[in-house]
Amino acid sequence: MLRNMQWFDNFFVDDRITEDARAGTSVRWYNDFIYSEGGDVDYSTKLNARLHLPFVSKRLKLIYESVGDEEFLDFFPQDSEELENALGLRYDAYAKGYSSFNIKATLRPRIEARYRFTYPLTTDAVFRLTQRVYQEKKETGEITDIDFDLSLSDDFLARWSNFAGYNDDLKGWEYGTGITLYHYLSQDQAL
């Protein structure tokens, strides 16, 4: 089940796979073509890189990310005009068993602490809790993500994603939920 879940996250370039990447170096270039009702076509591109710094520590990485202002809306693609590039460092402080913890600081300026707990409930169901606390310029906030993944068969995975977040700028809570059904077709095709 866990391998099935990771395959879909990797195939669809989900942040869940890159946030917990324990490998040294990775570079990902994302391209989204969006066709909206009414015939509007939009294109966005993002570049994310995590580079292991030799002779420093395997836990410290130089990062380059295309990030949007509206972090709560991770369910939906963002317009490339809304994206900013951020250069910084990420330190993977802890990664054992079901838990991981890292700290990220960028030149945006922004600092973020992220904790993730992933637990297999059964052989076909996985629970994931992610908690992020951040400070960006004068804005302080937190985002909580809760995901339930259920393997329906070898070819189908259902994910129920939930988020809640608070920041000083909104002076309130923002929350949402979504269900995604993934279908494996072949090693290079999925829906």
For the record, the structure tokens of 130 come out as: 């992610």
For the record, the structure tokens of 33 come out as: 């073509």
Helix (H, G, I), strand (E, B) or coil at 132: strand
109 vs 44, higher pLDDT:
109
- Structurally, the chain folds into a number of domains equal to 1
pLDDT at 11: 59
- Domain, as residue range, for 134: 2-190
pLDDT at 36: 75
The angle subtended at Cα 58 by Cα 17 and Cα 67, nearest 5°, is 40
pLDDT of residue 13 exceeding 90, the answer is no
Distance CA 83, CA 106 (A): 15
Tell me the pLDDT tens digit for each residue of 99-157: 999 999 999 889 999 999 999 999 989 999 999 999 988 889 999 999 999 988 888 88
pLDDT of residue 34 exceeding 50, the answer is yes
CATH number at residue 90: 2.40.160
Please count the other Cβ atoms lying within 10 Å of the Cβ belonging to residue 181: 10
pLDDT at 59: 81
pLDDT of residue 93 exceeding 60, the answer is yes
pLDDT at 21: 59
Task: Give the DSSP per-residue string, 71-96.
Answer: GGGTTS---GGGEEEEEEEEEEEEEE
